[in-house]
């Protein structure tokens, strides 16, 4: 019951913010152009600042298990390749491919994963998952930009130069680079850090409210096969492969919990805004985010419960 409460407490705020957005749109009836403008704000300002602060505030001097780090990166890339190949075999439309591949490998690590580790082990032990996220989240973003640029719109063929320029100019990548650059310089003034932190804190609530306002139930029904594919892949198959491999090679305790935080959580909030702004299927990306978030209340509980029952957490 305690683990169920932990999972529910982590997911409930997300659902609440989406319901606020959905209800507000129904009441005020604002159109898609308003939602598009809010998504531009999220994509061009809030997400890059959030990425910058995540990197800048990470304490790389903390003890980090090298085996856990290399395994986590390897597992992420493995899930990405499997998701890429299976999606291309399952779906023929490029706009859907980009959104679905991103949904399969990219999790809500910071927002949901780290709090779960904190609730299991306490605040003193969240340094490892936070540090792992400083490596994993930039990889998430590079892969997302590469994927969405590759399948942008209905583009056909592989265009390395265009894709590379898209990656270099992407606001999320620029935010990560600035974050690492600032770590090499003298500390920012407290006022600047406070301002940037407050701006970054707006990212998730605003993105979720906009997502709720964008939700189209008829669209979710129309794309039920694609949404189901994303839900099963994100919440069941990816965690099974990632955690199964980690257990087999002997990773236990907090390192395993850190990997668990990376893999059992639903789609990242940023995946919706990026898909919408990079000419992917934003509606499908939003529906995948909504439904993986809803079902994760059950699946996260089950993963935590099973790992505790077999004695590896």
Determine contact, residues 91/104, Cβ cutoff 8 Å: no
141-151 exposure pattern, b = at least 16 Cβ within 10 A, e = fewer = bebbbbbbbbb
Residue 299 confidence (pLDDT): 92
CATH number at residue 200: 1.20.1530.20
- Its pTM stands at 0.78
DSSP H helical ranges for the chain: 2-28, 32-41, 47-56, 66-90, 94-105, 114-121, 127-150, 160-169, 171-183, 190-201, 203-214, 217-222, 224-232, 238-248, 253-263, 269-277, 282-309
Per-residue pLDDT of the chain (313 residues; tens, 9 = 90+): 666 676 677 667 777 887 888 888 777 766 777 877 887 888 788 878 887 887 787 776 666 788 999 999 999 999 999 999 999 999 989 889 999 999 999 998 877 787 788 778 876 777 788 778 878 888 898 898 889 888 886 555 556 766 677 667 778 778 888 988 998 889 999 999 999 999 988 887 887 788 788 776 666 677 899 999 999 999 999 999 999 999 999 999 999 999 999 999 899 888 888 898 888 998 899 899 889 988 987 898 889 888 988 989 8
Helix (H, G, I), strand (E, B), or coil: what is residue 267? Answer: strand
CA distances from 6 to 135, 253, 254, 292, 304 (A): 25, 18, 17, 17, 10
CA distances from 153 to 43, 83, 119, 140 (A): 18, 19, 41, 21
* Domain around 2: 1-312
Provide CB contacts within 8 A for 292, sequence distance 6+: 103, 230, 231, 234, 235, 266, 267
Cα gap 266→295, rounded to integer Å: 8
The residue among 1, 230, 17 whose CA lies nearest residue 111 is 17
Residue 158 confidence (pLDDT): 53
CA distances from 280 to 88, 112, 144 (A): 15, 25, 11
Count up the domains in the chain and report the number: 1
- Which residues are registered as beta bridge partners of 14? none
Please report how the helices 127-150 and 171-183 are oriented relative to each other, as an axis angle in degrees rounded to 10.
Answer: 140
- Which residues are registered as beta bridge partners of 8? none
Residue 153 confidence (pLDDT): 67
Determine contact, residues 102/36, Cβ cutoff 8 Å: no
How many other CB atoms sit within 10 Å of the CB of residue 192? 11
Determine contact, residues 121/257, Cβ cutoff 8 Å: yes
């Amino acid at each position: 019951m305690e683990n169920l409460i932990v999972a529910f407490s982590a997911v409930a705020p997300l659902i609440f913010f989406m319901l606020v957005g959905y209800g507000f749109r129904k009441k005020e009836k604002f159109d898609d152009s308003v939602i598009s403008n809010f998504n531009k704000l999220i994509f061009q300002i809030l997400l890059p600042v959030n990425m910058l602060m995540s990197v800048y505030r990470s304490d790389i001097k903390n003890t980090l298990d090298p085996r856990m780090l290399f395994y986590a990166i390897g597992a992420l890339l493995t899930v990405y390749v499997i998701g890429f190949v299976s999606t291309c075999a399952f779906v023929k439309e490029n706009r859907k491919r980009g959104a679905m591949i991103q949904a399969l490998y990219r999790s809500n690590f910071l927002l949901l994963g780290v709090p779960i580790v904190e609730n299991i082990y306490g605040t003193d032990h969240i340094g490892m998952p936070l540090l792992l996220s400083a490596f994993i989240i930039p990889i998430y973003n590079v892969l997302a930009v590469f994927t969405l640029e590759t399948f942008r719109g209905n583009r056909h063929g592989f265009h390395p130069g265009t894709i590379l320029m898209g990656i270099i100019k992407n606001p999320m990548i620029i935010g990560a680079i600035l974050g690492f650059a600032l770590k090499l310089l003298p500390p920012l003034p407290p006022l600047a850090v406070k301002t940037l932190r407050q701006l970054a804190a707006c990212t998730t609530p605003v993105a979720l409210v906009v997502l709720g306002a964008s939700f189209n139930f008829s669209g979710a029904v129309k794309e039920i096969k694609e949404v189901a594919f994303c839900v099963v892949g994100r919440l069941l198959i990816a965690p099974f492969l990632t955690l199964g491999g980690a257990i087999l090679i002997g990773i236990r305790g907090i390192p395993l919990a850190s990997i668990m935080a990376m893999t059992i959580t639903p789609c990242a909030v940023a995946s919706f805004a990026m898909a919408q702004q990079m000419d992917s299927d934003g509606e499908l990306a939003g529906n995948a985010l909504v439904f993986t978030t809803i079902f994760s209340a059950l699946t996260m509980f089950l993963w935590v419960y099973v790992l505790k029952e077999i004695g590896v957490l």
